[in-house]
């Protein structure tokens, strides 16, 4: 910059590679609304919220969500204002195929056509997830991921998507966080289909991994220019203490939550120790030899990692219990509980910094996770596909405040900055990190937390016609993007 007194230099402490993707992320069911409009079929989540409103904080549901389905042009304009060069979103399977199979819903097809075209016209690269947990209800009623046929239905759905949008989408992900999707659906039973069965969990996970592997094959066999990967959470797991019992618990938890999913995807096989453990408990999935052959090394073009908080595993698990803090009251009575009798339980870090929803803020965990992705396959392109913090943001229109401070979410700025610093460090160590998608573009339907837990760069005013307001963090992030660093 030139000033009257000569040039001034702005030193960037954290400069990023020049082709780095800066974006934010959403998922269809969490933002779109229009749940039963324009030909969309019901998803397992629409049904769950209707059948069991009491299980969702303040009985919230995704029927209207952020009404993104109707306000998409305005939302894309805001993404562009915020200078993003990437945006991660998911396609709603039941919007495209209301019954999960069969005929396409032309209005759904046209909606994503418009979204993709608008993004591209605005210079924003779409990163599209095929499955972010909104299974078509019709398939759920036939056994969902527990049914082997869901694999074939998923692959057929994916092929429709590649044919419809493959010419314009540079990055595809098959499934968002298969591990948490399965754990919450079949172990904690906090998410639909709300089953408590390790056997069914492991079977459903196997089908999901098969669906992923076959979809990757189909994509690569087709004539597409883009890249395809998967989005894993890869939660960092530490032993609660250095006792041998806790170290064994951490190894088991890491195996069940992480390696059971990462190994088939990146190494082409299930981890032997966990395979044996499940065999001992008669929990192995039914499978054909052919299916195991679908897991191959080097099949994915990139890996997406989602990171929120780490886990500390203790071997002192005398009960089976699961609980999530959905109130955001920072109340010890409401602390998150995850305990599997005889296996492991997660405990708090006594030195940890925690959010009001009892999630620890620990950026170093992301660094280790990135290093781990690199150690699985050196040089693999890695995208941080989700990372963010749930807060109780508030609107404040005091006349003394500039527009940039109507929602003062400094904590989010600090959170993102801390995580970007470790990404920068990972890059310096040679990890091939290609982009960062903050969770989330906008405050949204936070699963069983409903709407109180706000994650967005955009504040959604639920008392006033879902009006969008840019938060302070969005201006900060825009400057990071414009400077390609901070
Ligand atoms: C991830 C999901 C997202 C998102 C996020 C925050 O696991 O992929 O969809 O919701 O977690 O979680 P929550 O909304 O439960 O606080």
Give residue-wise pLDDT tens across range 194-248: 999 999 999 999 999 999 999 999 999 998 999 999 999 988 999 999 999 999 9
| 446 CA from centroid of ligand 1 (Å) | 6
- CATH code for the domain of 440: 3.20.20.80
**pLDDT-derived band of residue 11, with 50, 70 and 90 as boundaries?**
low
What is the rounded average pLDDT of the residues 182-196?
Answer: 97
pLDDT of 9 reads 54
**Token pair recorded at residue 415:** 């959170």
Say if 171 falls within a structural domain. yes
Domain that holds residue 234: 2-308+366-483
**Token pair recorded at residue 433:** 């990190």
Say if 29 falls within a structural domain. yes
The lowest-confidence range among 89-93, 287-291, 304-308, 454-458 is 287-291
**Token pair recorded at residue 60:** 């919230």
**pLDDT-derived band of residue 184, with 50, 70 and 90 as boundaries?**
very high
Of 309, 322, 386, which is best to mutate to test ligand 1, by the most ligand atoms within 8 angstroms of its C-beta? 386
**Does ligand 1 have an atom closer than 6 angstroms to the CB of 328?**
no
pTM: 0.96
Say if 340 falls within a structural domain. no
State percent of the chain over pLDDT 70: 98
pLDDT of 223 reads 86
Check pLDDT > 60 for residue 8. Answer: no
pLDDT digits (tens, 9 = 90+) for 96-140: 999 999 999 999 999 999 999 999 999 999 999 999 999 999 999
Residues in contact with 68: Cβ distance below 8 Å, sequence separation at least 6, in sequence order:
26, 31, 32, 33, 75, 442
pLDDT of 1 reads 40
Say if 323 falls within a structural domain. no
| 176 CA from centroid of ligand 1 (Å) | 10
Say if 295 falls within a structural domain. yes
What is the rounded average pLDDT of the residues 55-64?
Answer: 98
Q: Which residues are catalytic?
A: 386
State percent of the chain over pLDDT 90: 96
**Does ligand 1 have an atom closer than 6 angstroms to the CB of 314?**
no
In the chain, the number of structural domains is 1
**pLDDT-derived band of residue 2, with 50, 70 and 90 as boundaries?**
very low
Ligand 1 atom nearest the C-alpha of 233 is 7
Report the distance separating Cα 142 and Cα 137, nearest Å.
Answer: 9
pLDDT digits (tens, 9 = 90+) for 361-419: 999 999 999 999 999 999 999 999 999 999 999 999 999 999 999 999 999 999 999 99
Q: State the sign of the Cα–Cα–Cα–Cα dihedral 176, 179, 181, 182.
A: positive
Say if 348 falls within a structural domain. no
ipTM, two decimals, is: 0.99
Q: Say how many residues make up the chain.
A: 486
| 191 CA from centroid of ligand 1 (Å) | 12
pLDDT of 234 reads 84
Helix ranges, 281-434 (H): 289-294, 363-376, 410-428
**pLDDT-derived band of residue 10, with 50, 70 and 90 as boundaries?**
low
**Exposure on the CB side of residue 15, measured as CA atoms within 13 A:** 6
In the numeric block, the tokens 């909606």 are attached to 111
**Does ligand 1 have an atom closer than 6 angstroms to the CB of 356?**
no
Say if 358 falls within a structural domain. no
Say if 343 falls within a structural domain. no
What is the rounded average pLDDT of the residues 7-25?
Answer: 84
């Amino acid at each position: 910059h030139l000033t009257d007194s000569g040039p001034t230099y702005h030193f960037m402490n954290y400069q990023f590679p020049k082709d780095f993707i800066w974006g934010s992320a959403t998922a269809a069911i969490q933002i779109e609304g229009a749940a039963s409009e324009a030909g969309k079929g019901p998803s397992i989540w629409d049904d769950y919220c209707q059948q069991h409103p009491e299980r969702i904080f303040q009985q919230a549901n995704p029927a209207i969500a952020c009404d993104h389905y109707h306000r998409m042009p305005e939302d894309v304009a805001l993404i562009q204002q915020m200078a993003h060069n990437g945006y991660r979103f998911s396609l709603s399977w039941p919007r495209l195929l209301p019954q999960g199979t069969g005929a396409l819903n032309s209005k759904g097809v046209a909606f994503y056509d418009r979204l993709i075209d608008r993004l591209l016209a605005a210079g924003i690269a779409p990163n599209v997830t095929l499955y972010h947990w909104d299974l078509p209800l019709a398939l759920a009623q036939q056994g969902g991921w527990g049914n082997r046929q869901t694999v074939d239905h998923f692959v057929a759905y994916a092929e429709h998507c590649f044919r419809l949008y493959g010419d314009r989408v540079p990055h595809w992900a098959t499934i968002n966080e298969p591990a948490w999707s399965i754990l919450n659906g079949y172990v904690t039973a906090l998410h639909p289909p709300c089953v408590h069965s390790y056997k069914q969990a492991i079977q459903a996970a196997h089908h999901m991994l098969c669906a992923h592997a076959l979809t990757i094959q189909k994509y690569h066999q087709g004539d597409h220019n883009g890249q395809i990967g998967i989005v894993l959470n890869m939660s960092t797991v530490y032993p609660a203490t250095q006792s041998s019992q806790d170290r064994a618990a951490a190894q088991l938890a890491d195996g069940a939550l992480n390696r059971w999913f990462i190994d088939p995807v990146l190494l082409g096989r299930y981890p032997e120790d966990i395979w044996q453990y499940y065999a001992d408990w008669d929990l192995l999935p039914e499978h054909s030899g052919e299916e195991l052959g679908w897991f191959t090394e080097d099949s994915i073009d990139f890996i997406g990692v989602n990171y929120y908080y780490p886990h500390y595993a203790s071997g002192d698990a005398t009960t089976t219990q699961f609980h999530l803090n959905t109130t955001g009251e920072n109340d010890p009575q409401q602390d998150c509980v995850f305990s599997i009798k005889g296996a492991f339980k997660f405990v708090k870090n006594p030195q940890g910094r925690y959010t009001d929803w009892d999630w620890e803020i620990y950026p170093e965990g992301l660094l280790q996770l990135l290093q781990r992705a690199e150690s699985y396959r050196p040089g693999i392109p890695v995208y941080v596909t989700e990372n963010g913090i749930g807060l109780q943001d508030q609107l404040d229109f005091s006349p003394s405040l500039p527009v940039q401070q109507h929602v003062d979410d400094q904590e989010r700025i600090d959170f993102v900055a801390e995580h970007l610093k470790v990404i920068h460090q990972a890059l310096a160590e040679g990890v091939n990190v290609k982009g960062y998608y903050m969770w989330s573009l906008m405050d949204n339907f936070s699963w069983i937390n409903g709407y109180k837990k706000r994650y967005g760069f955009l504040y959604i005013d639920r008392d006033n016609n879902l009006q969008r307001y840019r938060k302070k963090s969005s201006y900060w992030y825009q400057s990071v993007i414009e400077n390609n660093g901070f």
